[in-house]
Structure 1
Amino acid sequence: MLTVLGELVVDLIPDPTADAGPEGTAPRLVARPGGNALNVAVAAGRLGHPVHLLARFGTGPLAGNLRRHAELSGVDLSRSVDSQDPVSLAVVGLAADGSADYGFHVLGAADWQWTDDELAAAWPPGSQALHVGSISSWTAPGCDAIAGLAERLHADGTALVSVDPNIRVALAEGFGNTADEVRARLDRLLVVADVVKVSAEDLAWLEPGATDLDEVAQRWADRGPGVALLTDGGAPLRVARRGRPLLQVQPPSVTIADTVGAGDSLAAGFLTGLLEDGVTTRAALDALDDERLERIAADASLVAALCCTRVGADPPTRAELDAARG
């Protein structure tokens, strides 16, 4: 069983089929469920894997849409928390190549308010992996409770810990955060991570000036995780492990609608692939041979690629993944 912990965000995505009114000042936006944790959990659920989502469901007319979106994908919400704080919103801008830019409306939102007591009560017994990341993992006050849970799981060895920084610069350098605080909070998580997924876009902020991505991927693996995944759009996925040769997996070529949710889908594909292959402990992860690891990474890349062919965070089902394998 996989457990995903983090934020729920309503993504307001431009509708390319609609005009912006006579003056061009009224673009039509479509509200789609999103957020790192929700996207990862939904992607895992659609792949048919048992998954719990630990989320704080806020108030507002779109809260029910987020809940229904998760339920339709088979995500277990029984350990989530109802909150009187508002739901997070993101206004998405899309470039010509489908890459996304985000404007956030998240002040006081439910996602950042986790407490130690909430997480102690919410953790589902028997879960074999925890995925955390993005805004909730490095935003106070809840980030301390999230890090505390990751540290406890790492110390007792009962679950793999997966971390995705998923930096959003507007929030990492504002919204009560400073760059130094965010980096320190991420360092606390990375120390106890078994799997780390980081993007070249993240690295542009985390390590300005770093250009040799092969070297960076290997260096991140040397920090302690069992596997470090470095994504770079349509370029090869770098898969690094300490003391092992760097693996590169070429993502399939697809027609891109947008890239929203692609990294989250890749993380879900990779984690479910590990668990379904019997890799449920750090010892098993360290013992995983390169051939099996490369196969799991290739499947994860295909999951992400299929998500990119559709608007918004809309990952594939298991049947769609199987069909795409050919």
Structure 2
Amino acid sequence: MTFKVAVFGEALFDMIEQENGDYRPFIGGSPYNVARSFSRQGLNCSYLSPISNDSFGDKIYNSATIENIHMPQNNRSFQATSLALVYKNEQGNPDYRLYRKSVADLDISADRLLSNLPEDLDLFHTGSLALVPEMLDVLIPVMTALKSKGVKISIDVNVRKGVEIDHAKYVSAIAQLITYADIVKVSDEDLLLQDLVGDPQELASNMLKDMTNGMVVLTLGEDGAHIITENINIKQAVYKAVPMGDTVGAGDTFFSSMLAQLLRDNALTPAAEKEHLAYALKYGSLAASINVSKIGCQPPTHAEVLSKLDELCCA
């Protein structure tokens, strides 16, 4: 059975500073990384956010075509492609500046997004820079319609500093959208950027109070990940990447691969067997380690993850 998924959120270009001071462009954006991973996991994936008709947008469109990602015919926009300038600050640490005004991926209405939703959808995914106040009037009607049809909704919180001048308004928008989700991914850093201070597992558990029969996936960097429901808390350690490439897209690969496995096991519900939830968490963690063993976001296929699982079992 092939599951049908749709992704809404930014596809952008990361302009990454090189050692000589020049900037090199890379296609990125958390939701777009998720769409690539879904497709490589064998899911029937549609990417629904508008893509600019500028030269950067052409590259994104061509990339999606190569990845076998479906796109609506009317998804090109005259607005510009969003950019993220990635550089080292005065302390020598990575920092970034987002260029998000009048950009293509925000150039959409609720009616247009509703009309572009595929039939018989199993999962709708969004997150990251789509969770901004100006998108509430788009996403809330769409999510309401999806919930009425029984379509599962996943959200990757992925908080970004500097997205909105009014940070409190941004955090409030995220909180509103989480109430529509069946499963939410949040990191310990995301919690801090939402001004939530305390034990990450307890804070993640508290998010369930605002969800209906939901699940929260908590990532803790080198300390692994948890899947948390009202009744269980399953932990998964990190799989070390050999060789080590970089961590670009690791979280996107982890969550999308985990979601793909939950769909395959019909386990995208807190009522699922604990063994299925634990296996999906393990599967996502292993997929992330494969991605981290490479340079840039390069999500593995379903076959690649299964092969790695076989190696672990035989080791």
Q: For 1:290, which of 266, 274, 279 is the aligned residue?
A: 274
SS at match of 1:51: strand
| 8 A Cα contact 2:14 2:28, kept in partner | yes
Q: For 2:9, which of 6, 25, 48 is the aligned residue?
A: 6
Q: What is the distance in 1 between the residues matched to 2:7 and 2:236?
A: 25
Q: What is the distance in 1 between the residues matched to 2:202 and 2:150?
A: 31
SS at match of 1:86: coil
Q: TM-score, normalised by structure 1?
A: 0.86
Q: Residue 89 in 1 paired to residue 83 in 2?
A: yes
Aligned match of 2:192: 204
**Within 5 Å, which residues of 2 pair with 1:196-235?**
196-210=184-198, 212-224=199-211, 225-235=213-223
SS at match of 2:163: helix
Aligned match of 1:303: 287
| 8 A Cα contact 2:13 2:25, kept in partner | yes
Q: What is the distance in 2 between the residues matched to 1:249 and 1:120?
A: 37
Shift of the alpha carbon at 1:321? 1.8
Shift of the alpha carbon at 1:118? 0.8
| 8 A Cα contact 2:267 2:273, kept in partner | no
CA 93–299 in structure 1, closer or farther in 2 if over 3 Å, else same: farther
Q: For 1:265, which of 214, 235, 253 is the aligned residue?
A: 253
Query: Structure 1: which 5+ runs fail to align?
Result: 21-26
Kindly provide the CA deviation profile for residues 33-73 of structure 1, in whole angstroms up to 9, marking residues without a partner as x: 11122110001111111111111111321111111222222
CA RMSD of aligned residues (A): 2.0
Aligned match of 1:315: 299
SS at match of 2:27: strand
Q: What is the distance in 2 between the residues matched to 1:111 and 1:256?
A: 32
SS at match of 1:170: coil
Shift of the alpha carbon at 1:78? 3.0
The amino acid that maps onto 1:271 is L
Query: Structure 2: which 5+ runs fail to align?
Result: none
Q: Residue 144 in 1 paired to residue 137 in 2?
A: yes
Shift of the alpha carbon at 1:150? 1.1
Q: What is the distance in 2 between the residues matched to 1:68 and 1:78?
A: 14
Q: What is the distance in 2 between the residues matched to 1:287 and 1:167?
A: 28
Shift of the alpha carbon at 1:94? 7.1
Percent identity, please: 25
**Within 5 Å, which residues of 2 pair with 1:166-177?**
166-172=158-164, 174=165
Stretch deviating more after TM superposition (253-262 or 199-208): 253-262
Q: What is the distance in 2 between the residues matched to 1:293 and 1:79?
A: 37
Q: What is the distance in 2 between the residues matched to 1:30 and 1:111?
A: 22
Q: What is the distance in 2 between the residues matched to 1:93 and 1:246?
A: 37
CA 127–100 in structure 1, closer or farther in 2 if over 3 Å, else same: farther
The amino acid that maps onto 1:268 is S
| 8 A Cα contact 1:54 1:79, kept in partner | no
Shift of the alpha carbon at 1:14? 4.0
| 8 A Cα contact 2:249 2:296, kept in partner | yes
Q: For 2:170, which of 160, 182, 195 is the aligned residue?
A: 182
Q: For 1:159, which of 145, 151, 156 is the aligned residue?
A: 151
Aligned match of 1:42: 36
Q: What is the distance in 2 between the residues matched to 1:69 and 1:288?
A: 35
CA 36–139 in structure 1, closer or farther in 2 if over 3 Å, else same: farther
Shift of the alpha carbon at 1:100? 5.7
Shift of the alpha carbon at 1:258? 2.5
Shift of the alpha carbon at 1:102? 2.5
| 8 A Cα contact 2:52 2:58, kept in partner | no
Kindly provide the CA deviation profile for residues 202-261 of structure 1, in whole angstroms up to 9, marking residues without a partner as x: 111113422x1221222223432521001111212011001x131111120115433221
SS at match of 1:234: helix
| 8 A Cα contact 1:136 1:143, kept in partner | no
Q: What is the distance in 2 between the residues matched to 1:251 and 1:94?
A: 27
CA 47–199 in structure 1, closer or farther in 2 if over 3 Å, else same: same
CA 50–33 in structure 1, closer or farther in 2 if over 3 Å, else same: same
Aligned residues: 302
Q: For 1:113, which of 103, 107, 116 is the aligned residue?
A: 107
